[in-house]
Structure 1
């Protein structure tokens, strides 16, 4: 008996459908129902980013409440002039000036705008010329303006968070490694300057001892090498000789295997204890 084309297709189609159901195939690409092929959240995941900001704030401000630091400003005698805001923007390094420029663009005529020429003049120094109490008071007052807070957020992301996370992802690092890069960016900047060692040099020194995961290396071994390079750099700076933000915080997470920056997290900085609980 001669079978029609339709009678041949129907059983085959049914067989394909049965196989598809048994194999979990949905036609939507990789199987995500059980977490297969789903990358772990990176540091740019909102929850992970908030953890990163708390970790930085514990070292920069001795507090986990990073959102209350927009108004912070003082001279901590580290040779960089005023240190201020959510990650420690400095009058001597240019990022504080960039924050004020962003704010001026968003809110022309704001009380901080008149200090821009003074901020440009003191870059590369620890001087307060043209700034002083009027400037610090204006900075603290501006923290009540959402546009100023957004200016700080934008400068953090453009100069520190974004570049650090992008490089860490290219190196095959998880959320912890991305944070380790970010914290190095925050404290040291990307490049060497005025006798200090920047992130790029630290990474180059780490690569001389271990391969990144992207190169086929072990993540823990590479992160240990990077932290070693950072500690060596910190000990060359009189204002950064306390390495507890590495040894009793980041190094602890590496040794615990929390490469995805999983909570709960417990650590110490400058002898003070902190903890972030699970969500």
Structure 2
């Protein structure tokens, strides 16, 4: 059964560069796309203040009226004790979503740390993640999402905001056969493939906090029988660019990404 998943992050309500026009464009595009699921990979606010969360609530409710949504916080959401508001007003800070019809499970983690740009998953969450991954059948796609990136992204400058415990997390993800990792944080969309695991970053969808020639954007994943297509969607116009295309099959009761195409969006 075909599924369409939106990967969205870094909308930053309260930021000086936040664009209400881009927000309106985004909502119109999502209504037209009619996705089956939306995964928000952190940073709904600029500074974690209560008034920013209140400003974001209408947007959150509109997204929830369009499709099923899941949310994890980002480092900006954790500023100024903002995770209290995130949990009370938006969502729990981690989740498990299973779609048996399309044969995938998505696990969400909280990588945010209070008042700093870097993040970490922590031992308790890692133990919880391992326990949840162990419950997933090998023939089902395993997807994990959290805000911070685990490997460097081109065109983002000096690396100083990576997860503090990225090595331990990478070990858990690869040892347990995770197929896709969805992140935000750096405002630059990107896709890597490492040890048969796709690491997919989304950009900022509604702000002018853009690096180089990048534009406001979000990711759209189309899951069909035997393939996954990843589109980069430009929020200003709704135009799409294919970032990646994968063929997927089940062999010996295990799900495998057999072939892939990556289309570069960077000029280094």
Q: What band does the TM-score fall into relative to the shorter chain?
A: under 0.3
Structure-1-length-normalised TM-score: 0.27
Richer in helix (by share): 1
Q: Which has the higher contact order (CA 8 A, sep 6+)?
A: 2
Q: Which has the larger radius of gyration?
A: 1
